[in-house]
Structure 1
Amino acid sequence: MLATIFGGSNTFNVVNVLLLAILIVTVAVNQLLIWQMKDMLGMKKMSFSFFDSSFAKADSVKLSGDATNDAMKFVISQGQPAIYGPELNVSFDSVQPSMDIMKQFDPTYGQNKITLAGADLQRYINIGLKIACEYCCGAKGLVFQNGQAACGCAHSQAMRGLLAYLITKHGNQYSDDELLRELARWKGMYFPKQMIDKLTGQLQGQPFTPDTASLVLGVNLPNYGKNSAQAPLPSDINNLPSMVGGC
């Protein structure tokens, strides 16, 4: 039919133009929906995230006192993380590509495994036991007591890979709690809804877990209600986050 109307040689060009137009409209609509969703959540590029490319000083953070709003600020990060971001070319604005980069260093499953021993291995185990991929895996931590991976999902591989990288390359620049915070920042990007819900409840008085306590490390929290309290140091929390579901 198109050949009859437009002539044989023009048919292919007309179809291509129509397909291109449809593609452009689809991309534009998708982008509009994404920005509308971010606007509904309060995700402003300059004002939403507590964590940008480098941490704001605790005394300069402007928190609203609303638990949900502030939880969103703590959980969602933007830009490149300081120190290792430029080195690895990872960014909180490109979660999947960054995950693919970091997971290659996973000591168990990575294509470019980092081997740990001695004090570095013990540090890796201690931190890996305090955070887990509970929204994907059925494990209770990133690692077992012997340092082997407790879950094989990409989220866990990326967090273990980053932890091993930071311990071996920048171990003297981070405390254990600060290393845990870096993992928790990525966990927040992997599971934003779940982590926001979790932190919201803990800001209002539920017991903190090590991962969420690390996100508010060094921050003087406002009063979120009669049961709210300052978060303990992650290293002072003995309980591990509970795990549900499967991978």
Structure 2
Amino acid sequence: MSQGQVQSSGVSLQAIADRVIPKGIPAVYGSELGVSYDKPVDSLAVLGKLDGDLYPDGKLKYAQLDASAQKRYLALGKMIACEYCCGADSLVSPNGQPACGCQHSAAMRGLAMYLLINHPDMGDAQILEEMGKWKILFFPQPMLSKAVSFASAGKDLNTIDLTSNEFRNFKPAASAQGAPAGETTAEMNARMHPDQVQGLANAPEMVGGC
């Protein structure tokens, strides 16, 4: 996002939401699984049921992956987490089993296994991006708040940086937009227009159950 998109009164929350919130049906697997970015609650249930390592009636298990896919799955599971629900540091334990028992993490794990099995040509970055898109939909308020922090610092609003563990505890440093070094989200919100702060407050903190 360019500096011109960061308004003098703060940042444009609507512009950020339009930029980071996915819409429509996922191109590769959406029709196959019957999921849509526009129906996060229904899709959460579908994706969660793919995780057979957490749910007895789940469709896919770590043991079903071949050696190469298992290696990729473990790597992906370390790159992203469900910190806004259960506070876990990763989705997957070193033995390939769930590191978190919430439905959100099950959905992300289930999607990863599904894509590794059915679309192995997808790169790890592509799969991680898809997992991240659902994380944004599952946790609208904290993810939008983090996106605002990114924009305030002039940082690119790409899905992987926003949702992966690499920038998990991101706080904006001093920037051309005037964000003080180490500014907290609450402090950053204080610089925003009241309507934008209210918009963040009205966004659901979490979609579905933990």
Residues 26-72 of structure 1: CA deviation (Å, up to 9, x unaligned):
xxxxxxxxxxxxxxxxxxxxxxxxxxxxxxxxxxx999723544431
Q: TM-score, normalised by structure 2?
A: 0.66
Q: Which residue of 2 aligns with 1:138?
A: 87
Residues 180-235 of structure 1: CA deviation (Å, up to 9, x unaligned):
110111111111111011122123339899964267xxxxxxxxx5279xxxxxxx
Specify which of 72, 76, 79 is matched with residue 123 of structure 1.
Answer: 72
Larger CA deviation: 87-96 vs 98-107? 98-107
Q: Which residue of 1 aligns with 2:204?
A: none
Structure showing greater relative contact order (alpha-carbon pairs closer than 8 Å, 6 or more residues apart)? 2
Larger CA deviation: 130-139 vs 104-113? 104-113
Matched-pair contact (CA < 8 Å) for 1:71–1:199:
yes
The offset of 1:104, in angstroms, is 1.7
Q: Which residue of 2 aligns with 1:190?
A: 138
Measure, in 2, the Cα distance between the counterparts of 1:101 and 1:189.
14
Mapping for residues 127-206 of structure 1, pairs under 5 Å: 127-172=76-121, 174-205=122-153
Measure, in 2, the Cα distance between the counterparts of 1:207 and 1:76.
17
Matched-pair contact (CA < 8 Å) for 1:180–1:214:
no
- Which structure would you say has the larger Rg? 1
Q: Give secondary structure in 2 for the equivalent of 1:105.
A: coil
Letter in structure 1 aligned against 2:176? K
Task: Quickly say closer, same or farther: Cα 1:158–1:103, change in 2 above 3 A.
Answer: same
Q: Any stretches of 5+ residues in structure 2 without a counterpart?
A: 164-174, 179-209
Letter in structure 1 aligned against 2:138? Y
CA-atom RMSD in angstroms? 3.0
Matched-pair contact (CA < 8 Å) for 2:146–2:162:
no
Measure, in 1, the Cα distance between the counterparts of 2:156 and 2:83.
15
Q: TM-score, normalised by structure 1?
A: 0.57
Matched-pair contact (CA < 8 Å) for 2:151–2:157:
no
Q: Any stretches of 5+ residues in structure 1 without a counterpart?
A: 1-60, 216-224, 229-246
Q: Which residue of 2 aligns with 1:73?
A: 18
Residues 109-150 of structure 1: CA deviation (Å, up to 9, x unaligned):
142123223110110111111111111113101112222111
**Total equivalences in the alignment:** 159
Instruction: Report percent identity of matched pairs.
Output: 35
Letter in structure 2 aligned against 1:65? Q
